[in-house]
Amino acid sequence: MTTRAQAIIRRAHERRQRALSEHDSKRVIAAYGVPTTREVLVKTPAEAGSAARRLGYPVVLKVCSAGESHKTEKGLVAVGLAGERDLRAAFGRLKERAGAGYAGDFLVQEMIEGSRELMIGMVRDPQFGPLMMFGSGGVEVEGLKDVAFALAPLNQAEAEKMIRKTWAGRKLKGFRDIPPADEESVIDVLIKLSWLAMENENIREIEINPLSVLSKGVIAVDVRIKTVA
């Protein structure tokens, strides 16, 4: 697991990237068994088209470059693309917004529907080591301050306790008309991520936002990892 994660980080460092792209960040957490979106890196509209046919519509198209954050604010994400026409139009729009000279990657990925969104993260404290974060995801992160913190590594009981400290976590059990979601899988991601942080000291920050929670299973939809040399 560590070997695979470190190989991905090493190759990013060879390209002088300290902040990994969304796709590379996902490959790192996937090495620790965290489920991620099915997706394909492409450069051209034709490649995007064949990737989308393989994944199955609807798809999502994103600009995928190292260190890119706040993609939505910059207009670099197009969700709910229903067919090839939509996809080609979105490709043109995103390319324009990425800047005239953009020759980098685009990401075609499966569209995750009918989920709720959480955020799971890690920041490494110089004294205490990896500090895990859990809370509401999506656009609500900044507004709600519905976040809990705990030091890694986390065991089952500690991860569960952390989740219960937040409303986002408590409602996984279901509340009035909110149906229950797969809390077990969320706990599993927290534990795995805490071990990823323990075993890879050159990872400085991780943010999964959103982690989509389904009635069965979870999927990391957007991931950012920052490393040190």
Rank residues 108 and 152 by Cβ distance to ligand ADP and give the closer one: 108
183 touches ligand ADP by CB under 6 A: no
Rank residues 65 and 153 by Cβ distance to Mg ion and give the closer one: 65
222 touches Mg ion by CB under 5 A: yes
| Per-residue contact flags (x/-) with ligand ADP for residues 117 to 136, judged by CB under 6 A | x-------------------
72 touches ligand ADP by CB under 6 A: yes
209 touches Mg ion by CB under 5 A: yes
107 touches ligand ADP by CB under 6 A: no
DSSP notation for 31-92:
TTT--B--EEEESSHHHHHHHHHHH-SSEEEEEE-TT---TTTTT-EEEEE-SHHHHHHHHH
**Token digits of residue 192:** 């795995």
Shortest CB 209 distance to ligand ADP, Å: 6
Select from 1, 30, 77, 148 the one that contacts ligand ADP (CB under 6 A). Answer: 77
222 touches ligand ADP by CB under 6 A: yes
**Distance separating alpha carbons of residues 35 and 95, to the nearest angstrom:** 28
Grouping H, G, I as helix, E, B as strand and the rest as coil, residue 102 is coil
Rank residues 114 and 126 by Cβ distance to ligand ADP and give the closer one: 114
Rank residues 41 and 77 by Cβ distance to ligand ADP and give the closer one: 77
Shortest CB 96 distance to ligand ADP, Å: 18
**Which of 212, 214, 215 lies closest to 223, judged by CA?**
212
15 touches ligand ADP by CB under 6 A: no
Q: Site residues (CB under 6 A) for ligand ADP?
A: 37, 60, 62, 69-72, 77, 79, 109, 111-112, 117, 138, 210, 221-222
